[in-house]
Amino acid sequence: MSGENWQVFMTFGFFIILLSVCGLYCLLVTRNLIRAIIGLELLFKAVTLLIIVVGYVTGRNALTQAIVITVIVIEVVVAAVAGGIALRVFRHTNGLDARELKKLRG
């Protein structure tokens, strides 16, 4: 791979890792279920960007764009279903506190 492309890949890679750390931190620290889902979305964003960068540096934009479109569809469906579950939880516990979801243990 040419040095220039490699540099692009490395630069993007650096920020992609930072973005996923952001998402993971959000997922782990928050006590709100919707915010946890937002953390997951950040992770998905990071990985989408990674796929596009790979497409760019290998010159296979067509393939990676096709992949990314599918990933985006999946992402939305996951977010919708997760939101639905959070909504249900809200209806049962009257709150979105992740600490409520500790009844199953042991």
What residues from 47 to 76 belong to the interface with other proteins (CB under 8 A)?
47-76
Q: How far is the CB of 5 from other proteins (least distance, A)?
A: 8
What residues from 18 to 37 belong to the interface with other proteins (CB under 8 A)?
18-29, 32-37
Instruction: Compute how many residues bind other proteins; rule: CB under 8 A.
Output: 97
Q: How far is the CB of 97 from other proteins (least distance, A)?
A: 10
Residue 8: C-alpha distances to residues 42, 46, 67, 86, 97 (Å): 21, 15, 21, 39, 41
